[in-house]
Structure 1
Amino acid sequence: MSTQIVSTDAGDARITWHRAKQPRLVLAVSHGAGGGIEARDLKALAGVLPAHGVTVALVEQPWRVAGRKVAPAPKTLDTGWRGIWPAVAEPGLPVISGGRSAGARVACRTATELGAHAVLALSFPLHPPGKPEKSRADELLGAGVPTLVVQGANDTFGRPDEFPEGDYELVEVPYGDHGLAVPKRAEITQEQALEAVTAAVVKWSGPLG
Structure 2
Amino acid sequence: MSTETVETEAGTARITWHHAEKPRLVLAVSHGAGGGVEARDLQALAAVLPGRGVSVALVEQPWRVAGKKVAPAPKTLDVGWRGIWPAVVAPGLPVISGGRSAGARVACRTATELGAHAVLALSFPLHPPGRPEKSRADELLGAGVPTLVVQGGNDPFGRPDEFPAGGYALVEVAYGDHGFAVPKRAGVTQEETLEVVTAEVVGWVASLG
Q: Same fold (TM over 0.5)?
A: yes
Q: Which amino acid counterpart does residue 28 of structure 2 have in structure 1?
A: A
Q: Distance in 2 between matches of 1:3 and 1:148?
A: 27
2:40 is the counterpart of 1:40 = yes
1:93 aligns with 2:100: no
User: Gaps (5+ residues) in structure 1?
Assistant: none
Distance 2:192 2:170 in 1: 18
Q: Could you give the per-residue CA deviations for residues 98-155 of structure 1, whole angstroms, max 9, x where no partner exists?
A: 0000000000000000000000000000000000000000000000000000000000
1:188 aligned residue: 188
Identify which range, 91-100 or 70-79, moves more after superposition: 91-100
TM-score under structure 2 length normalisation: 0.99
TM-score by length of 1: 0.99
Residue 107 of structure 2 is matched in structure 1 by 107
**Equivalent in the alignment of 2:144:** 144
Distance 2:92 2:187 in 1: 43
For residues 59 and 208 of structure 2, what CA distance do their matches in structure 1 show? Answer: 21
The 3-state SS of whatever aligns with 1:28 is: strand
SS at match of 1:166: coil
Which whole-Å CA distance do the structure 1 matches of 2:40 and 2:135 have between them? 26
Give the deviation of 1:91 after TM superposition.
Answer: 4.8
Distance of 2:182 and 2:18 partners within structure 1: 26
| Aligned amino acid, residue 9 of structure 2 | D
1:185 shift after superposition: 1.5
Amino acid at match of 2:4: Q
Equivalent residues in 2 for 1:1-209, closer than 5 Å: 1-209=1-209
What SS does the corresponding residue of 1:47 show, helix, strand or coil?
Answer: helix
**4+ runs of 1 displaced by more than 2 Å?**
none
Query: Counterpart of 2:186 in 1: which secondary structure?
Result: coil
The alignment partner of 2:84 has SS state of helix
Return 5+ residue gaps in structure 2 as ranges: none
Distance 1:40 1:184 in 2: 17
Give the distance between the partners of 1:149 and 1:52, measured in 2 at CA: 20
How far apart are the structure 1 equivalents of 2:133 and 2:117? Answer: 31
Compute the displacement of 1:186 (Å): 1.0
Q: C-alpha deviations, 1:141-182, integer Å up to 9, x for none?
A: 000000000000000000000000000000000100000100
Q: SS at 1:145's partner residue?
A: coil
Q: Which amino acid aligns with 2:95?
A: V
Backbone CA RMSD of aligned residues: 0.7
SS of aligned partner of 1:177? coil
Percent identity of equivalent pairs: 83
Question: How many matched pairs?
Answer: 209
